[in-house]
Amino acid sequence: MKPIVLCLAVVVSSGSLQAQERKPVPKDSMRVFVPGCSKGYVFTAGRRTEDQPGVTAVPEGTHLRMNGAKALMTEIKGHEGSRIEITGLIKKGQVAQDGVPLGGGVRIRGGASPGTAGAGLFRDPGVSQILIDVEGWRSIPGDCPSH
């Protein structure tokens, strides 16, 4: 009887270890860890945390559209107003930066030429919202700005 219980315990524990492993990253994507604040399904990237300094693939001030399991998104929504760090997958090239950086996540880039009909009236169709498939999150110290 004891060997059966022992085998069952090994099988159950190995299943939970597999559940904790992250899925492989597709070749056209990259896994990112982004600190910041959420509001609804939009996440605004903030400054790096002290335990993960350095350059990130997602610059401060970037807005990401979050996609994830309903339970996970409900958890994140419960922490609006508090800084969190999300982990997820984004497509390579979505955060390509053009223009001149001014600081604080602000960049200036060229617009339509003055002779273009409707210049400034329509959004550039080449610009789309950055999507992140959220895999997880954690609380980090600090509060979100209230604007």
Domain assignment present for 104: yes
Q: How far is CA 129 from the centre of its chain?
A: 12
29-40 pLDDT, tens digit each: 999 999 999 999
Q: Return mean pLDDT, the chain.
A: 74
- For the chain, percent of residues with pLDDT exceeding 70: 56
Domain assignment present for 8: no
Q: Number of structural domains, the chain?
A: 1
Domain assignment present for 11: no
Kindly indicate the confidence band of residue 140, based on its pLDDT and cuts at 50, 70 and 90: very high
Neighbouring CB atoms inside 10 A of 126's CB total 5
Domain assignment present for 75: yes
Mean pLDDT, range 138-145, rounded to an integer: 89
The residue among 60, 17, 11, 14 whose CA lies nearest residue 35 is 60
Mean pLDDT, range 60-70, rounded to an integer: 94
Only one residue has tokens 């700005």, namely 145
Domain assignment present for 46: yes
Domain around 132: 23-111+123-143
pTM over 0.85: no
Q: Which CATH number is 54's domain given?
A: 2.40.50
Give how far Cα 68 sits from Cα of 23, 25, 50, 93, Å.
Answer: 14, 16, 26, 21
Mean pLDDT, range 80-88, rounded to an integer: 93
Kindly indicate the confidence band of residue 112, based on its pLDDT and cuts at 50, 70 and 90: low
- At 139 the three-state DSSP class reads strand
pLDDT confidence of residue 108: 66
